[in-house]
Amino acid sequence: DCTCPSYGSVLQRAIKTAWLALDEMDSQWTPVHHSWRLNERNYGDLQGRSKAACIEQYGLKQVQKWRRGYSERPPPWADATRLATVDRRYDAPMRKGADGDGFPSHSESLRDCEQRLLPFLQGELTAAMESAVARAHATADTSGCEYEVPTVLVVASEHVLRGLVMQLEGLSEEEVPLVDVPYAVPLVYQLDSALVPIPTPWADKPLRAGWFLGDPAKVRAAKAEMQAELSPPSGEDSCLVSWTGHEGVVEREWRC
């Protein structure tokens, strides 16, 4: 019997989402490990402001660069605001200097978010998955039966998941802005024994291996709602360009 851990950030919504997911799967007993590296991206001075207010002040194209682009950081927090966000959840990274990451950050681009995630992905998460695969193989060898595929749950926020997907799929800086992460919809990856994602026809571009679990119509509606939030009014300059392609399929491209 393989007990696979679950992972989540130290933020309240992610913690509660992990509880709900494990309860639904009748796996409440599964250990949950929390890491600040899975926290949502820090938007700096934009934190807590609505998209509409940011677009009104900075323009749609600039907000698109901050929200979907790879390397642009939003305006930073003031030092007083930055340090006021730190509580006892962050005692350990504050003491260690977060391995030189300058914790807490003044603001983060997606690149910063991805780099913050890497030590967790390449260390703790990979080690847990390798251990789960080894235990499953050992169980199969001793019992002579097929083993149950280990399942690892990661609960995190939109931009951290976008960074995780970028690593798993090997997406380019031009592809990752096209990844929509609908809220509260599981994104599933099947990995081979070497922990390489297995391509699937269920994936929507630019993904090749991950697919969203749920009613396809509801998933499409959730994605459309997210896309509409950053869609330009007629004639306004935009980084996200879309058009109707072959057989009526809507194609999108990042041009910034």
CATH number at residue 203: 3.40.50.1240
pLDDT at residue 1 is higher than 80: no
Q: Is 13 marked as binding a ligand? A: yes
Query: What's the pLDDT tens digit per position in 128-160?
Result: 999 888 887 777 666 555 667 788 999 999 999
Residue 42 marked in a binding site? yes
76, 43 contact by CB (below 8 A): no
Q: pTM (2 decimals)?
A: 0.86
Q: What are phi and psi of 187, to 5 degrees?
A: -105, 120
Mind listing the pLDDT tens digit for each residue in 74-130?
Answer: 999 887 777 777 777 877 776 665 544 556 788 999 999 999 999 999 999 999 999
Cα–Cα distances in Å, from 60 out to 14, 50, 64, 175, 203?
29, 13, 6, 19, 29
Q: Say what the pLDDT of residue 2 is.
A: 47
Bridge partners of residue 191, in order along the sequence: 197
Query: Once rounded to an integer, what is the mean pLDDT over residues 159-172?
Result: 95
Answer whether residue 1 is part of any domain. Answer: no
Q: Is residue 67 part of an annotated ligand binding site?
A: yes
**Under 8 Å between Cβ of 160 and 117:** yes
Is there a binding annotation on residue 96? no
Decide if 54 is inside a domain: yes
Domain count, the chain: 1
Residues contacting residue 69 through CB under 8 Å, at least 6 positions apart: 109, 110, 177, 239, 254, 256
Residue 223 lies in a domain: yes
Tell whether 118 is covered by a domain.
Answer: yes
Q: Rounded mean pLDDT of 44-57?
A: 90
On whether 37 is known to bind a ligand per the annotation, the reply is no
